[in-house]
Amino acid sequence: MSALSEFHLLSVLAQEMNMRKAAERLFVSQPALSQRLQSIEKEWETKLFVRSQKGLTLTPAGELVIQFANEVIGREEKVKESIGALNSEVHGTLKLAVASIVGQNWLPQVLKKYISRYPQAKISLMTGWSSEISKSLYEDQVHIGIIRGTPDWKGVKIHLFKDSLYLVDKEITRPEQVLETDRPFIQFKSDSNYYQEIQDWWMRQFKTPPKRTVVVDQIETCKQMAFNGIGYAILPAITLNGAEKDIFKIPLLDENNEPIERDTWLLGYESAFRLKQVRAFAELIREHVEEGGN
């Protein structure tokens, strides 16, 4: 299987575009890596990478070979998964794409249970925005996506939990007080319908935009700024673990005086659920939710 190891080497080089970093990832010395690359290029009878002080650059031939190598590696993973599915134990890599807010606040306890119960299984995890998770599912890069909001999905779709939205601040105890404060409304960027829900609530409630706003990239930054009294924010309950001190949490209500809530869903294709590591993860999540782990 020397060809497979060579493909993995080329794939790592193409990801790092740096001999030192690639050597560290592959646990080999730079001279040894350089020698192996020269040998591979000799087999292909062409230069695959051009070296410079800034790092590596792929040649046109290199781009074709890397594309082929990644396709072979992808097929190798699928064959390994199929072989693993034949065994009684849970093996293989569980590939997850998860909304960042879920990955930071809810998923760790689930993964802890999964790793403990299935020590032979491996986990590949990416976090990001909902659009990125949907893209990774459509392109078959992951087995399962966990997404916020109400996704339009034709495959397996399992509802995990709801959590309410709160106006969070160190001073404000009633929603109408936001019109009196000079401190800013702190918001975090989102590509889901979360932002629109907040806008709709705000205009129903106040009929006028906030006096001042601060927009940050990450929800955790938004949360810490609110907790430190810089301004007020609207945050989902999933980010509030009860340990915060001297913080007022005012629930957001819709036009029917009902709490405004966010849904979290598990998504995947039927084919992925034929894999034992995926089925095991889905079953463990159901247990976790039924036990009140939300």
Regarding pTM above 0.85, the answer is: no
Minimum mean pLDDT range among 87-91, 157-161, 198-202, 257-261:
87-91
Answer whether residue 285 shows pLDDT above 80: yes
Equal CATH topology for 1-83 and 92-160+262-289? no
What does pLDDT average to over the chain? 89
Q: In the prediction, which pLDDT does 221 show?
A: 92
CATH topology assigned to domain 161-260: D-Maltodextrin-Binding Protein; domain 2 (3.40.190)
- pLDDT of 88 reads 59
- Report residue 1's pLDDT band, with 50, 70 and 90 as the boundaries: very low
What's the pLDDT tens digit per position in 81-90?
777 666 657 8
Strands 213-216 and 185-188: parallel
Spell out the domain ranges in the chain. Answer: 1-83, 92-160+262-289, 161-260
Q: What would the mean pLDDT of 37-55 be, rounded to a whole number?
A: 91
Q: Does domain 1-83 have CATH number 1.20.1250.20?
A: no
On the question of pLDDT at 66 being above 50, the answer is yes
Nearest C-alpha neighbor of 269 from the set 170, 172, 138, 180: 138
- Candidate from 161-165, 187-191, 251-255, 264-268 with smallest mean pLDDT: 187-191
Tens digit of each residue's pLDDT (9 = 90 or more) over 188-244: 887 667 888 888 899 999 988 898 999 998 888 999 999 999 999 999 999 987 767
CATH architecture of 92-160+262-289: 3-Layer(aba) Sandwich (3.40)
What percentage of residues in the chain have a pLDDT greater than 70? 96
